[in-house]
């Protein structure tokens, strides 16, 4: 396309493709959550949602047919069908821009032009990665929650048996899948089984607090209402509150809630020394075992574990890990200071892992171990069809549109460098995979990831 309307200093950069390369180079930041997503083309417009249906399987037949009933046209068989479940994918537009004043930049206009493209690229991918991360942990709007949902704790002790209990985070409790696989509010269903303390109760409604006091990242505090009264012993502050359909959340030393995590190297009595609840290889292997029991497929032969560098440090301090690598201190794992692949897990350090302020024992870190299909990315198929105009350069870099507009101001001095992405993320459920289909599977709606909390 014609580039005559751009300053002469920039025309060689545009012709040689340096601009797109700088934008693409900026997309190589230390972030990784978007990589877990399976990409799909979204045919609808911005702001619209599409509901997709996933079919389940049929339970195996282990009882032989009765020969005396093998008659008539149906041969004694009763037709059965597979169950279905649905998930909703919504797309929105995200973007930002930066201006380049060709006069004030002077002789450095070329360098500034490329620097802006690189900065836009970093911002774009970091934005998409954070949206993917938030969806993975918190869940999309209107869904059944994310991989941190349905697992919280009582925040205020009840003084007498009550049907209402205040909790730190109501995500994962608001919606259920009905008999036809549709996502509905818990109030429109027969209820959700929730374990509080030591006993199970039936949840019938969820109310958000007018002022959010949740300590959990992206959490929402509120009140859970049950069909029967919760006992005082179960409704005591700090007790775990776990939905029967909640994804698995693991903590070192089998801690039941986030608030129970114990700080490293704490002395508790003369004969009781606690090393602390930092990440260890056994907790990671427990997550892998859970994924395998649900028959979650791997990603290129291994599960992905996204974690921050502090959790990686805890892994290197773990006794089992050091025993595994005893005599191998010259290995690439120790030389580079990062685990590439170990015991069927590919460890991917990221600076985007969610952190939580201390609840008394230190900052809380969260890793997630994922298999294939844990996240779906929907890209608007109309993005690539937007025509170039004579006044702008339009480049598509990995689904992100980079727009460079010529100076349109009165003095013809300000170039606009922008980016936008039209798409969204969704968490497909696997509720139809139950113990009748896979005997080792769980009842969780979301089975393709396991969150690990540690200090």
Encode pLDDT of 408-422 as tens digits: 888 888 888 889 988
Q: Within 10 A of 163 (CB to CB), how many other CB atoms are there?
A: 16
DSSP-derived 3-state class of residue 35: helix
Q: Report yes or no: 90 and 424 within 8 Å, Cβ to Cβ.
A: yes
The band of 10, judged by pLDDT with boundaries at 50, 70 and 90, is low
| Confidence at 134, pLDDT banded by 50, 70, 90 | very high
Q: Does the predicted TM-score (pTM) go above 0.85? A: no
pLDDT digits (tens, 9 = 90+) for 144-157: 889 999 999 999 99
Total number of residues shown for the chain: 455
Report how far apart, in Å, the C-alpha atoms of 124 and of each of 28, 48, 72, 131 are: 11, 22, 65, 11
- Contact between 140 and 174 (Cβ < 8 Å): no
Q: Are strands 392-397 and 400-405 parallel, antiparallel or unpaired?
A: antiparallel
CB neighbour class for 130 (10 Å; exposed up to 12, middle 13-18, buried from 19): middle
40 confidence band (pLDDT: 50, 70, 90): confident
Q: Which residue has the higher pLDDT, 403 or 10?
A: 403
Are 361 and 349 within 8 A, CB to CB?
A: no
pLDDT at position 390 over 90: no
Looking at residue 47, what is its pLDDT?
A: 58
- Map residue 349 onto helix, strand or coil: strand
Mean pLDDT across 324-329? 56
Q: Rounded to whole angstroms, what are the CA distances from 239 to 80, 121, 126, 167, 195?
A: 42, 45, 36, 10, 10
What the block records as the tokens of 295 is 């028959």
**Range with the poorest average pLDDT among 50-59, 339-348, 383-392, 429-438:** 383-392
Tens-place pLDDT, residues 83-117: 656 667 788 889 999 888 877 665 566 677 778 88
Angstrom distances, CA of residue 189 to CA of 84, 172, 358: 17, 15, 37
Please check whether residue 410 is in contact with residue 61, taking contact to mean a CB–CB distance below 8 angstroms. no
Burial of 27 (0-12, 13-18, 19+ CB in 10 A): buried
Higher pLDDT, 403 or 364: 364
Task: For tokens 């429109």, name the residue.
Answer: 188
More confident: 403 or 195: 195
Task: Output the CA–CA distances (angstroms, integers) from residue 47 to 44, 92, 375, 380, 392, in the order listed.
Answer: 9, 5, 20, 11, 25
Residues 6+ apart with CB under 8 A from 21: none
| Segment 257-290, tens digit of pLDDT | 999 998 876 544 444 444 678 888 899 999 999 9
Q: Give yes or no for residue 223 having a pLDDT over 80.
A: yes
Asked whether 165 and 158 are in contact (CB, 8 A), the reply is yes
Q: Which residues, other chains included, contact 30 with Cβ-Cβ below 8 Å and sequence gap of 6+? A: 349, 350, 351
Question: Mean pLDDT throughout 191-218?
Answer: 95
The phi, psi pair for 46, rounded to 5°, reads -60, 135
Average pLDDT score over residue span 22-39: 70
50: exposed, middle or buried (Cβ count in 10 Å: 0-12, 13-18, 19+)? middle
């Amino acid at each position: 396309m014609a580039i005559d309307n751009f300053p002469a200093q920039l025309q060689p950069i545009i012709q040689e493709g340096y601009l797109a390369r700088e934008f693409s180079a900026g997309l190589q930041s230390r972030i990784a959550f978007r990589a877990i997503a399976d990409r799909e083309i979204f045919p609808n417009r911005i702001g619209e949602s599409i509901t997709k249906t996933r079919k389940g399987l049929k339970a195996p037949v282990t009882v032989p047919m009765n020969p005396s009933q093998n008659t008539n046209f149906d041969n004694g068989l009763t037709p059965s069908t597979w169950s279905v479940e649905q998930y909703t994918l919504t797309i929105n537009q995200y973007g930002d821009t930066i201006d380049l004043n060709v006069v004030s930049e002077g002789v450095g206009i070329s360098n500034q032009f490329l620097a802006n493209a690189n900065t836009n690229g970093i911002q774009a991918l970091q934005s998409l990665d954070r949206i993917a991360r938030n969806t993975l942990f918190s869940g999309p709007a209107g869904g059944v929650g994310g991989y941190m949902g349905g697992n919280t704790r009582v925040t205020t002790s009840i003084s007498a048996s009550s049907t209402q209990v205040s909790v730190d985070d109501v995500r994962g409790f608001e919606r259920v899948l009905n008999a036809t696989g549709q996502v509905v509010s818990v109030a429109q269903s027969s209820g959700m089984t929730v374990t509080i303390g030591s006993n199970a109760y039936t949840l019938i409604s969820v109310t958000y607090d007018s002022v959010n006091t949740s300590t959990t990242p992206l959490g929402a505090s509120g009140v859970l209402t049950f069909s029967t009264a919760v006992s005082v012993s179960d409704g005591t502050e700090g007790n775990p509150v776990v939905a029967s359909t909640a994804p698995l959340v693991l903590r070192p030393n089998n801690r039941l809630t986030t608030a129970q995590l114990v700080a490293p190297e704490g002395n508790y009595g003369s004969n009781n020394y606690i090393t602390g609840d930092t990440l260890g290889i056994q907790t990671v292997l427990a997550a892998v075992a859970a994924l395998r029991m649900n028959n979650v497929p791997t990603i290129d032969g291994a599960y992905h574990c996204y974690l921050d560098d502090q959790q990686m440090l805890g892994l290197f301090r773990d006794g089992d890990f050091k025993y595994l690598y005893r005599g191998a201190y010259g290995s690439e794992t120790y030389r580079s200071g990062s685990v590439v692949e170990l015991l069927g897990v590919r460890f991917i350090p990221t600076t985007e892992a969610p952190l939580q302020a201390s609840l008394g024992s230190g900052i809380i870190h969260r890793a997630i171990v994922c298999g294939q299909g844990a996240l779906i990315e929907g890209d608007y198929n109309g993005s690539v069809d937007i025509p170039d105009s004579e006044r702008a350069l339009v480049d598509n870099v990995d689904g992100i549109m980079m727009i460079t507009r010529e100076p349109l101001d009165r003095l013809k001095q300000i170039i606009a460098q922008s980016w936008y992405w039209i798409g969204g993320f969704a968490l497909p459920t696997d509720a139809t995979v139950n113990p009748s289909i896979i005997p080792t599977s769980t009842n969780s709606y979301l089975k393709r990831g396991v969150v690990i909390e540690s200090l």
